[in-house]
Amino acid sequence: MTSGDLKSSDIRFGIYAKYIKRLLDIVLSTVALIILSPLLIVIAVFVKLFIGGPVFFRQIRVGKGEKPFEMIKFKTMLDLRNEKGELLPDVDRVSRFGCFLRSTSLDELPELFNVLKGDMSLIGPRPLYTFYLPFYTEEEAKRHYVRAGLTGLAQVNGRALCKWDERFSYDIEYVNHLTFLTDVKIFFKTILKVFMRSDVGELEGDADIGLHQARKVQRPEKLNEKDTGKKNSEGENNTPFFRDVK
């Protein structure tokens, strides 16, 4: 099975999942972009002033059907380099304003454009790196039966502190029980958690390392060596941490 060939024939989605959910995504993301446009402009100006351009962070992630897409967020890291012209370690480049954007999830707002385009949904499993594909079990790969989301069931049940297995179990539970009521509950729980800035605490088990470091290859047919070690648009090495996939 190649990228984009993933089928969801073993799961019977209802009318909401098949038709209404996408319509709501279009309507709500459009309304949100219009209402939040002044805030988006202000943040973009501040990013330009305090962090430097370009103001957007772009990275390839995996969406529905295991198809890659370019996810857009606000840039949060400085372009600081050593005397050799090499970017400094990530920990030395995260700006104070960037930390504020991440802690408040404001850096995620440009993903509304991804929702409008159809790459993502407002609610769904968070999109992860392309080179993670070989490390999902067949059951866990079902998270790609639906569009990736701005927030999801895993995020409102631990956000950045869940272990990988636990995170994926929430994703599969969401796919298996995708309803309008489920999405509404996740939406309001997300708002509450963002305002409370909850789920800040000790990371458990393998939660602080990348999936490719936490387990062995599960689907060797998905191996793609050229994905390993790529740098994203902020110059970060793709050695991802669970806390980064909010």
Residue 34: the pLDDT is 98
Per-residue pLDDT of the chain (246 residues; tens, 9 = 90+): 444 455 555 677 899 999 999 999 999 999 999 999 999 999 999 999 999 889 999 999 999 999 999 999 999 988 888 888 787 777 778 888 998 998 888 999 999 999 999 999 999 999 999 999 999 999 999 999 999 999 999 989 875 556 888 899 999 999 999 999 999 999 999 988 888 766 543 333 444 578 878 888 888 888 864 444 444 545 444 443 333 333
pLDDT at 241: 35
Query: Looking at residue 187, what is its pLDDT?
Result: 95
How confident is the model at residue 224, as a pLDDT? 65
Work out the end-to-end distance of the chain between its first and last CA atoms, rounded to an integer number of angstroms.
Answer: 28
Tokens of 206: 């393998």
- The model's pTM: 0.81
Query: Residues with Cβ < 8 Å from 85, sequence gap 6 or more?
Result: none
The pLDDT of residue 101: 92
